[in-house]
């Protein structure tokens, strides 16, 4: 597939970077199946399940897989989240391109989410703070977090696994996670997106203004 690399934008490339070498992949919400095709094509994944809840995106994915010559290694599956994925079919699970609340719901309904050998690569389009709060409260550890810019928008990707350590996350941690906005311009850009949204919310609720001030103090005050 000559143009598969051009079909993987920075957002999906960052997701791909988090996938382990030799891992069987499940891509949830696969749409065009660009990610599993790319990972199988470069030899990082021996096999993949490309899953989507809707038939139309799955048909688009099927077309991509056939055109790439990867039909023998990638299977498409109609699935509501991970409900139709068997534990032995995937080592690394990508859940990308949907809201943080929906990602949390998909994980909460996954029968093998508490298998600590599984890695979950999560890319929330919105409400990353809600997702991080849920992860902490349900025993998941963020192993790595990074950001990228694609089509002028800033996204974050989290690599997590189940640790069993459940705790309520500090409010600042929900917004900052494992990012280093003091040292990384892309991380800073992502956190500034949070600040912009909080400023708008603060018009109706002063608590959001207080939270925004706490985040600003944390990321900009280098001397304290």
Among residues 134, 135, 128, the alpha carbon closest in space to that of 154 is found at: 128
Higher-confidence position of 200 and 2: 200
Quick: pLDDT tens for 87-102.
Answer: 999 999 999 999 999 9
Beta strand 153-162 with 140-150: parallel, antiparallel or unpaired?
A: antiparallel
pLDDT score of 76 more than 80: yes
pTM over 0.75: yes
* Radius of gyration for the chain, computed over Cα atoms and rounded to the nearest angstrom: 18
pLDDT score of 166 more than 70: yes
155-164 burial, b at 16+ Cβ within 10 Å, e below that, comes to bbbbbbbbee
| pLDDT band for position 77 (cuts 50, 70, 90) | very high
CB 139 within 8 A of CB 165: yes
Number of Cβ atoms within 10 Å of the Cβ of 111: 11
pLDDT score of 4 more than 80: no
CB 90 within 8 A of CB 63: no
Give the mean model confidence (pLDDT) for residues 70-77. 94
3-state helix, strand, coil in the chain (%, to 5): 40, 20, 35
pLDDT score of 2 more than 60: no
Give the mean model confidence (pLDDT) for residues 190-217. 93
pLDDT score of 204 more than 70: yes
Give the mean model confidence (pLDDT) for residues 32-44. 95
């Amino acid at each position: 597939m000559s143009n598969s690399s051009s079909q993987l934008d920075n957002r999906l490339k960052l997701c791909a970077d988090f996938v382990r070498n030799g891992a069987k992949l499940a891509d949830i919400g696969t749409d065009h199946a660009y990610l599993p095709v790319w990972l199988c094509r470069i030899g990082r994944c021996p096999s993949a399940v490309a899953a989507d809840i809707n038939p139309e995106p799955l048909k688009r994915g099927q077309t991509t897989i056939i055109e790439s010559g990867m039909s023998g290694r990638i299977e498409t599956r109609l699935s509501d989240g991970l409900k139709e994925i068997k534990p032995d079919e995937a080592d690394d699970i990508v859940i990308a391109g949907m809201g943080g609340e929906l990602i949390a719901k998909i994980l909460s309904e996954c029968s093998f989410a508490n298998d600590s050998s599984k890695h979950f690569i999560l890319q929330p389009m919105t409400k990353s703070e809600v997702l991080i709060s849920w992860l902490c409260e349900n025993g998941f550890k963020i192993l790595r977090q990074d950001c990228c810019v694609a089509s002028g928008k800033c996204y974050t990707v989290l690599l997590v696994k189940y640790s069993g350590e459940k705790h309520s996350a500090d409010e600042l941690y929900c917004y900052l996670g494992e990012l280093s906005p003091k040292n990384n311009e892309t991380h800073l850009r992502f956190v500034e997106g949070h600040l912009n949204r909080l400023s708008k919310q603060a018009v109706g609720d002063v608590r959001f203004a207080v939270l925004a001030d706490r985040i600003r103090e944390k990321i900009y005050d280098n001397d304290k």
